[in-house]
Chains A and B, each alone.
Chain A
Amino acid sequence: MSLADRWNRAWFGPAPVLDLAIVRLLVVGLHQVLLLWPYALMTVPLYEEFDHAVALPDAQFEPVLLFRLFSLPFGAGWRPSVELLDAVRLGTTLVGFTALVGLFTRTSLALYVTGFAFMISHRYSFGDYHHVETVPVLVLALLACSPSGAALSVDARLRRRRAGSPPPLLERTDPLARWPVRLAAWLLSVIYLSAGLCKLGGAGLDWMNGFTVQTSLLQAGCFWDNGAGLALARYHGLAVALTWFTMLFELTFPVILWRPALAPLYALAAFAFHVGSMTTMSVPFALYLPCFAILVPWTRWLRRRRGLPADVVPATASAPSSGASSS
């Protein structure tokens, strides 16, 4: 088998479109909530305070690569006004609703992720940066390039009306529905491996002393008035256990690339890890939470459920997928 064949077989081939549609609803849905209510689930506002960044002097402006690409039509050194950034935020919010309901899904998602990328890359063009939006933006970009609107969307409903009777929801597949899931698994693997290696590279095995996590809990408890963090900081043994969980989880995450069956377990661990760090340390990674849904085989799990409507479930739920494409 040639290298090209191996590549194509690894990334492409029929996969359920429902899985991507569920991820779209969750990821876009939470983004919309945080655009409309910036402090829901978050300790810091993500897409606000444009006036602060715009007022910073040119000497502090060091545009990141992505923002330099955005400013190509306007020339080097171009800086957007507060009014433009506010307009982008409003436009992003509006197009978010069409992305959510799946109307002109790809275009909506493309504009949606472009809006976020523009706002955030501008904000991070002054030296300071955070990791809060990276994974969500990457997942949104994958959704924009994939058939995530082929189910649970207005687009899909309109298409069905034109095409007549479609296969049941759980039977609908698309040969371009697999690669975003696999790429997300790869990206998350590199990201968590990076987090684990950075800890070992930065502090070596000293990071595992238990005091590191205990201090982080105490620091967050003090800074954010986080009662849970302050309470847990009293237990050194618990901090040691959390230390081992963190290191094991981060360094072994790439296992899902070779053992995809473990992906839901790691998705659950990632979910617990970030919910835990949000509630005890006020680390505002809420937008990561729905992204882990991309590691979950929703369609396969739903096939096992009984009592689903006829337009959802295949005639014989245990039968293999027909490979029919809805796109």
Chain B
Amino acid sequence: MPPADDALPPLRRRLLPNVVIVVFLGLQVAAGLKVSCPPKAIPALEPLRVACAPELWPFLEYNMYNSARWPGEVHHAYELVAEHADGREEVLSPARIGESYYDLRGRAIKGLIDGSLRRTERTLAAFLAATPSVRALRLEADRYRIEEDGTLTELSRAEIARHEVVDGRVLP
């Protein structure tokens, strides 16, 4: 039921809401529907690419997870193993290195995958300093593949990388 005219707030109180409505909706439509950043695949629209993400943040297009995936890719579930001088081995957990899971997976392990060893070193600095017996870090992975019929196959475990550790430094 629409309000009677006398139920409307005075114009000066409606000013800010009106501005917010127009600006927020305009920017979200421009960003979300790619009006301000049409696809590169259409060269004729190149001049309209005036504000591509994240320029208009918090107004963005929502293009995450937008590519199709197919069977056959191999996916790795990594584990970081510390080798000690006495031959002992241990799988490193977030609690063991004193960091979050994000730090372990997104920094320490990712550093070994990408070859950015300084990142691994920085993340594990406290653990390596407190555990001088560590002689090497080994990255292992359980591997999985989705088959054509939609089933999931568990492949054999593999060693992905191994790096010696000397005085807290992870060597190439």
- Mark A residues whose CB is within 8 Å of B: 5, 8-9, 11-14, 39, 43-45, 64-66, 117, 120-121, 124, 129, 131, 133-134, 137-138, 141-142, 145-146, 175-176, 179-180, 183, 186-187, 190-195, 197-199, 201-204, 206-207, 209-212, 214-216, 218-219, 221-225, 230, 233-234, 236-237, 239, 323
Contact = CB atoms under 8 A, between A and B. Distances in A.
A14 B58 CA distance: 29
Contacts of B51: 65
Contacts of B62: 131, 191-192, 194-195, 198
Contact of B65 (A141, A209, A216, A230): A216
Contact of A187 (B2, B24, B75, B100): B24
B146 A215 contact: yes
B76 interface: yes
Contacts of B69: 209, 211-212, 214-216
Contacts of B55: 64-65
A64 B102 CA distance: 26
A39 B55 CA distance: 28
B62 to A, nearest CB: 4
Contacts of B95: none
Q: Which 8 A-B pairs have the closest CB atoms?
A: A236-B150, A13-B3, A194-B32, A202-B66, A206-B68, A203-B68, A215-B69, A129-B54
B112 to A, nearest CB: 14
A218 B56 contact: no
Contacts, number: 182
Interface in B1-46: 2-3, 5, 7-9, 13-14, 16-18, 20-21, 24-25, 28-29, 32-33, 39
Given A13-B7, A145-B16, A211-B146, A187 B54 contact: no
Nearest to A234: B152
Given A64-B54, A187-B25, A215-B73, 19 more contacts: A12-B14, A39-B102, A64-B57, A65-B51, A134-B59, A175-B3, A176-B17, A179-B17, A183-B25, A186-B28, A211-B68, A211-B69, A214-B69, A216-B69, A222-B78, A222-B144, A225-B77, A236-B149, A236-B151
Interface string B134-172: 000000001010100111100000000000000000000
B130 to A, nearest CB: 22
The winner among A121, A203, A222, A323 for most chain B CB atoms within 10 A is A222
Given A138-B24, A218-B152, A221-B77, A176 B57 contact: no
Contact of A141 (B20, B61, B73, B78): B20
A30 B32 CA distance: 26
A150 to B, nearest CB: 13
A117 B59 CA distance: 12
Contact of A224 (B33, B39, B101): B101
B53 to A, nearest CB: 6
B99 to A, nearest CB: 11
Contacts of A219: 75
15 contacts: A14-B3, A14-B7, A45-B102, A117-B58, A145-B16, A176-B17, A190-B29, A191-B28, A195-B62, A212-B65, A214-B69, A215-B146, A233-B152, A239-B150, A323-B7
B36 to A, nearest CB: 11
B124 to A, nearest CB: 17
Contacts of A209: 68-70
Nearest to A138: B58
Given A133-B58, A183-B25, A176 B9 contact: yes
B64 A131 contact: yes
A172 B54 CA distance: 40
B32 A191 contact: yes
B64 to A, nearest CB: 6
B25 A202 contact: no
A44 to B, nearest CB: 5
B81 interface: no
